[in-house]
Amino acid sequence: MAEDDSYESMLCVKPEVHVYRIPPRASNRGYRAADWKLDEPAWSGRMKITAKGKMAFIKLEDKNTGELFAQAPVDQYPGCVVEAVTDSSRYFVIRIEDGNGRHAFIGLGFADRGDSFDFNVALQDHFKWVKQEGELAKLEATQSAAPKLDLSFKEGQTIKISLGNIKKKDAGGAKPRPAAGSLLPPPPGGKPGGAVLPPPGGQQPVSAAPINAAPLLDFGSSVPVAQPGSDLWGDFTSAGSNSSNKDDVQSGWVQFS
Which amino acid, residue 248? D
Name the CATH topology of 8-144.
Answer: PH-domain like (2.30.29)
Q: Model's pTM, two decimal places?
A: 0.54
Question: How far is Cα 205 from Cα 226, in angstroms, rounded to an integer?
Answer: 26
Instruction: Measure CA 109 to chain center.
Output: 54
- pLDDT, residue 249, reads 46
- pLDDT, residue 140, reads 79
Q: What is the DSSP string of 182-243?
A: PPPPPPTTPPTT-PPPPPTTSPPPPPPPP---HHHH-TT--SPPPPPSS-TTHHHHHHHH-T
Question: How far is Cα 210 from Cα 230, in angstroms, rounded to an integer?
Answer: 12
17: β partners: 45, 110
**pLDDT tens digits, residue range 65-124?**
999 999 999 999 988 899 999 999 999 999 999 888 899 999 999 989 999 999 999 999
- pLDDT, residue 198, reads 57
CB-based burial of residue 61 (10 Å sphere; 0-12 exposed, 13-18 middle, 19+ buried)?
Answer: middle
Say how many C-beta atoms besides its own lie within 10 A of residue 74's C-beta: 20
**pLDDT tens digits, residue range 145-188?**
667 667 777 777 787 777 776 665 555 555 656 555 555 666 66
- Which residues are CB-contacts of 82 (< 8 A; sequence separation ≥ 6)? 58, 72, 74, 92, 93, 94, 95, 123
**Segments making up each domain of the chain, as ranges:** 8-144
